Amino acid sequence: MPPFPPLDSFKDLIQLAKLEDLGPDGDDCTSRLAVGEDVIGVGTLLQKQTGVVCGLPIVEHVCRVYDERLRVEMIPGFHMEIIEGRFSDMKQTPLLRLRGPMRSLLAAERVLLNFVQRMSGVATLTAKFVRRIEGTGAVLVDTRKTMPGFRSLDKYATLAGGAAGHRCGLFDMLLLKDNHLAALAGREWAAGVARVIRQSKLEAPARPTMVEVDTLDQLRQVLSIDGIDFVLLDNMDCPTMTQAVQLRDSGAKKGTVKLEASGGVTLETIRSIALTGVDRISVGAITHSATALDIGLDVELQ
């Protein structure tokens, strides 16, 4: 499993979730009126649907924000390092146990479930895509099409599902896409690309560089430019991508420039795309279209 994102990357998100749920006065009026202040509860986090569980480390962070007295306990035989990122097809699989003041437990329930359900849904959908391309040599990579504020958590979930990471944001990779190329208007756009790539390598030699193309003619021009690490093949059909791989492999850039397929990739099409010989396939759906995994919290009195 990859390391869990640092708390600084999502602590404000937990506070925001708490604020929108409890309001500025921090009031769960239902539990305040229905549950005694000294009542202690025990909640069991249960995976109720086939899939990859992901995001369990965030449960403790949520509990701390709501009430320091809430305790996360491992269930015997279900250690976190074993169950985090694990695929399970068993219903009612126990994951964690929470113990503490019942009011606080009920207040935190929805927020911690929202985090874990979403992250598990992303990891589960990612794993489905990864299984479709097993044995092809292609690697699934994620995108920036994440839930606002969830970037670090969404990308952790894709890694848990078996994908590789793409750029984290606009700051850690130079990626010239179609709209950037439009800004380099005119017949000399390739010279403009070469200038930008050269400047990027001078500024930050280790920063990866990528250029998007949508025709083989553009690819030919891009392959003549030094310093490009990746070429994004945008919305090409499989026969064209096969030609793109052959074009790359027939020249001096074989082994140095990676080709990445992108655009409208589905579970039904990803294996055919992988078999064209591309190195990477980026799929936005694994984060922007993932369905939450059914995970619940069954609470009882201690």
| Catalytic residue list | 110, 145, 177, 212, 234
Question: Read out DSSP for 8-27?
Answer: GGTHHHHHHHHHHHHTTTT-
Look at residue 246 and give its three-state secondary structure.
helix
Alpha carbons 171 and 179: distance in angstroms, whole number = 17
Token digits of residue 209: 């560089």
Token digits of residue 283: 């799929």
> Residue 160 belongs to what H/E stretch?
helix 151-160
Alpha carbons 211 and 279: distance in angstroms, whole number = 15
Count of Cβ atoms closer than 10 Å to residue 172 Cβ: 11
Alpha carbons 259 and 278: distance in angstroms, whole number = 5
Alpha carbons 243 and 259: distance in angstroms, whole number = 12
Q: Do 284 and 120 meet the contact criterion of CB atoms below 8 Å apart? A: no
